Amino acid sequence: MVQDKLDKMKCPRCAKGPLIIVQETSETCCSKCGIVIDEKPEESGTYPRSVDDAQTGVPTSLAMHDQGLSTKIGQEDRDPSGKPLSSDMRYTMKRLRVWDSRSKNNPVDRNFMSAFAELSRIEDRLSLSKATVEKAAWIYRKAIEAKLVRGRSINAVLSASVYVACRMTGTTRNLKDIESVANIKRKDIARCYRMILKNLDLQIQVVDPIQCIARIASQMKIKESTKRYAVRILEEARKHDQVAGKDPMGLAAAALYLSCVNHGEDITQRVVAEAASVTEVTIRNRYKGLKDLKLKKVITA
């Protein structure tokens, strides 16, 4: 249905090619010149609606203690036809409400309420995406099932779950960022992180230092050409196997500093170190490693 509408529309740039939707990226593009018209997919579905055209409830989410699926007995003592209930039935409904409330107040639900309230706060402070939050909630639920939280701090296990989710979704957040917003020591988060990886058998990819360049450069006033130059340096360093086993933020900071030196930008090591949250010694060590490589085509370009 959406594609039929696009077939009738023409490209605003070349006015020749019809518009298509790329399935891999959900982008609306011109089939002739390739210009991207819209990066967001058009919603073709409908929300569940009741008789009075009101939305029936919030979407389900793993980041909610009940996943948005629980129900609640209403307070109105009336039957479906609107007539008041008898005194015996009102007493029965009152008791049902009490037992309904008690049945939902179990230790697991209380654990989820506390953990996901903290998750919502971390989401706001770190500006995490919904996909990352859902992944963190899924990891924490798996940790509960594996009984990994027993005897440990809820916030520490949750913070470690958030860090694992950031690593799995490619979100550039390190332990120091999570430590600053979760009020948990880094060594405690790292300990829980190792425990989760060991017991849940999760596959975590190595952080790409190229993804860290944009984050560091956003805090410094440097040219776009300097950032692209740093990306080229890291790509050459990867070809020479100089990336594995090193801190991604330290490598990205050293590549940016080396790029600034070659482009004549007046940026000190201290400024780059503060932007990357690493030490100046780390930048100097990584800088020497990058400079000693045979990268004349990149450095002298």
What is the full per-residue pLDDT of the chain (301 aa) written as tens digits? 455 556 667 777 777 777 777 765 667 778 777 777 776 554 445 445 544 555 556 677 888 877 777 777 778 888 878 888 888 888 888 888 888 877 777 788 888 888 999 999 999 998 888 999 999 999 999 999 999 988 889 999 999 999 999 988 888 788 888 998 988 898 999 999 999 998 988 878 777 788 888 888 888 878 888 888 888 888 888 887 777 778 888 888 888 988 888 888 888 889 888 888 888 898 888 888 787 665 544 444 3
User: Is 26 within 8 Å of 40 (Cβ atoms)?
Assistant: yes
From the CB of residue 266, how many other CB atoms can be counted at a distance below 10 Å? 6
Q: Is 266 found in the same domain as 192?
A: no
Q: Is 121 found in the same domain as 189?
A: yes
Q: Is 189 found in the same domain as 113?
A: yes
User: Is 89 within 8 Å of 81 (Cβ atoms)?
Assistant: no
The pLDDT score that the predictor gives to residue 297 is 45
Q: Is 275 found in the same domain as 238?
A: yes
Number of structural domains (the chain) is 3
Please give the angle made by the CA atoms of 45, 61 and 100, to the nearest 5 degrees: 115
Cα distances (Å, whole numbers) of residue 169 to 53, 115, 147: 37, 20, 25
**Domain end marker among 155, 181, 200:** 200
Asked if residue 291 belongs to a domain, the reply is yes
The pLDDT score that the predictor gives to residue 294 is 54
Q: Is 213 found in the same domain as 196?
A: no
Report the C-alpha gap between 247 and 251 in whole angstroms. Answer: 6
Report the C-alpha gap between 27 and 137 in whole angstroms. Answer: 29
Q: Is 190 found in the same domain as 120?
A: yes
**Domain end marker among 173, 200, 227:** 200
* Domain that residue 289 falls in: 209-299
The whole-model pTM stands at 0.64
Cα distances (Å, whole numbers) of residue 27 to 32, 36, 40: 15, 7, 6
Cα distances (Å, whole numbers) of residue 254 to 83, 246, 263, 270: 75, 12, 14, 11
The pLDDT score that the predictor gives to residue 187 is 92
Q: Is 196 found in the same domain as 112?
A: yes
Report the C-alpha gap between 228 and 206 in whole angstroms. Answer: 21
Helix (H) or strand (E) holding 27: strand 27-30
The pLDDT score that the predictor gives to residue 192 is 93
Any idea which residue has 């605003």 for tokens?
12
Asked if residue 45 belongs to a domain, the reply is no
The pLDDT score that the predictor gives to residue 58 is 66
Q: Is 185 found in the same domain as 248?
A: no
Asked if residue 26 belongs to a domain, the reply is yes
